[in-house]
């Protein structure tokens, strides 16, 4: 259904030297540099799947989404959505997709939300009866009622995001691109949005490509994930497999009351390999990353507490960023694979 093949996007960037002289130079003899925003990204998404599209900041996710939605033309490679090339017939294509960029609203700032939907109805030529049933569905899923008469500029971030998703869904698209739809939202609203996405996917078999930095979004929603870094694929597979392979890392942070404790002394009491244990020390503050299959969390806590007088301690799961970091590092150090 969605096919991306070796997508690449280069941007030309003009380098400006400082000062007025630099400005003139940039104007008349611009020095250009090529930025490779996406290098070589390939994946496929079957109909009805929710794909988590992940990667650290600047990895090229939004750039790929812009190519898939026809906003940008690939420098090389190609994409096809339901057999269509997005850039070929944009007018027809945009009727089949919905797009939300969480970082920026696509709604009209001064229009009350209700009017916004009426305008979109005309743009997408949605029939009156369809529009009504569609609005009823979106209203139920996203609970828009309490702010539907308010101008977009007065909406809270969570309300605005729900409105943005509703707007992208009004014409019943087969494919939905959500680029960070939960960014900056509180836990309750995040949960609300996740359930809405789930419901839309289940009830309408909408295919969803979702970009996020939040592991909970992925755990709840995504059947599969594709991860990129530096514009290239680094992982493509199920979340389960990713967790089995890489998600066993935990991070323990503690503050000791003993200024003589060193990193070396701490590590000595564990017979763990380098990829199973890494410690960073900042005076009396220690950041310990460890493999919980090699050293269970309880045992790690016990040993730490019996070694030194601890003032404060916390343990947390590896988050998406951490898994990505490890994945990327393991790419550079193949011997650590399957650790």
Ligand X SMILES: Nc1ncnc2c1ncn2[C@@H]1O[C@H](COP(=O)(O)OP(=O)(O)OP(=O)(O)O)[C@@H](O)[C@H]1O
Binding site for ligand X (CB under 6 A): 11, 13, 35, 37, 55, 57-63
Closest CB to ligand X among 49 and 180?
A: 180
Closest CB to Mg ion among 8 and 61?
A: 61
Answer yes or no whether residue 62 interacts with Mg ion by CB under 5 A. yes
Which of 238, 330, 236 is CA-nearest to residue 291? 330
Q: How far is the CB of 69 from Mg ion (least distance, A)?
A: 13
276 binds, among Mg ion, ligand X, none (CB under 5 to 8 A by kind): none
Q: How far is the CB of 104 from ligand X (least distance, A)?
A: 11
Q: With contacts defined by CB under 5 A, name the span among 16-24, 26-34, 54-62, 259-267 that binds Mg ion.
A: 54-62
Residue nearest to Mg ion (CB): 62
Q: How far is the CB of 179 from Mg ion (least distance, A)?
A: 6
Build a one-symbol-per-residue string for 215-254: x at contacts with Mg ion by CB under 5 A, - elsewhere.
----------------------------------------
Q: With contacts defined by CB under 5 A, name the span among 29-37, 57-65, 70-78, 108-116 that binds Mg ion.
A: 57-65
308 binds, among ligand X, Mg ion, none (CB under 5 to 8 A by kind): none
Q: How far is the CB of 282 from ligand X (least distance, A)?
A: 27
Q: How far is the CB of 316 from Mg ion (least distance, A)?
A: 25
35 binds, among ligand X, Mg ion, none (CB under 5 to 8 A by kind): ligand X
Which residues inside 143-182 make contact with Mg ion, applying CB under 5 A? none
**CA gap 175, 205 in Å, rounded:** 9
Q: How far is the CB of 59 from ligand X (least distance, A)?
A: 4
Q: Quick one: CA dihedral 163, 164, 166, 170, positive or negative?
A: positive
- Strand 31-45 with 207-211, pairing: unpaired
Do 12 and 33 form a contact (C-beta atoms < 8 A)?
Answer: yes
For the beta carbon of residue 186, count every other beta carbon within 10 angstroms: 12
58 binds, among Mg ion, ligand X, none (CB under 5 to 8 A by kind): ligand X
State the residues that interact with Mg ion by CB under 5 A. 61-62
């Amino acid at each position: 259904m969605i096919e991306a093949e070796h997508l690449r996007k280069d941007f030309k960037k003009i380098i400006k030297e400082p000062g007025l002289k630099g400005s003139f130079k940039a104007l008349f003899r611009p020095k250009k540099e090529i930025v490779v925003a996406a290098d070589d990204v390939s994946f496929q998404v079957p109909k009805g799947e929710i794909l988590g599209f992940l990667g650290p900041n600047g990895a090229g996710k939004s750039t790929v989404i812009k190519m898939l939605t026809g906003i940008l033309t690939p420098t090389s490679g190609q994409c096809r959505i339901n057999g269509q090339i997005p850039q070929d017939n944009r007018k027809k294509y945009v009727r089949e997709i919905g797009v939300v960029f969480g970082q920026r609203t696509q709604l009209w700032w001064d229009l009350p939300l209700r009017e916004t939907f009426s305008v979109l109805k005309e743009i997408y030529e949605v029939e009156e009866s369809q529009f009504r049933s569609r609005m009823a569905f979106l209203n139920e899923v996203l609970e828009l009622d309490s702010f539907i008469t308010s101008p977009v500029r007065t909406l809270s971030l969570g309300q605005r995001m729900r409105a943005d998703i509703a707007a992208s869904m009004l014409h019943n698209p087969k494919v939905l691109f959500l680029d960070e739809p939960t960014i900056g939202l509180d836990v309750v609203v995040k949960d609300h949005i996740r359930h809405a996405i789930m419901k839309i996917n289940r009830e309408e078999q909408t295919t969803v490509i979702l970009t996020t930095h939040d592991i909970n979004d992925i755990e709840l929603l995504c059947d599969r994930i594709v991860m990129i870094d530096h514009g290239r694929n680094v992982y493509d597979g199920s979340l389960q497999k990713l967790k089995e392979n890489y998600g066993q890392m935990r991070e323990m942070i503690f503050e000791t009351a003993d200024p003589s404790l060193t990193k070396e002394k701490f590590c000595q009491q564990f017979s763990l390999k380098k990829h199973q244990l890494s410690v960073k020390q900042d005076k009396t503050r220690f950041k310990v990353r460890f493999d919980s299959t090699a050293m269970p969390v309880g045992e790690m806590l016990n040993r730490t507490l019996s070694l030194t007088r601890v003032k404060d301690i916390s343990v947390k799961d590896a988050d998406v960023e951490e898994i990505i970091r490890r994945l990327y590092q393991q790419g550079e150090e193949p011997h650590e694979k399957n650790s």
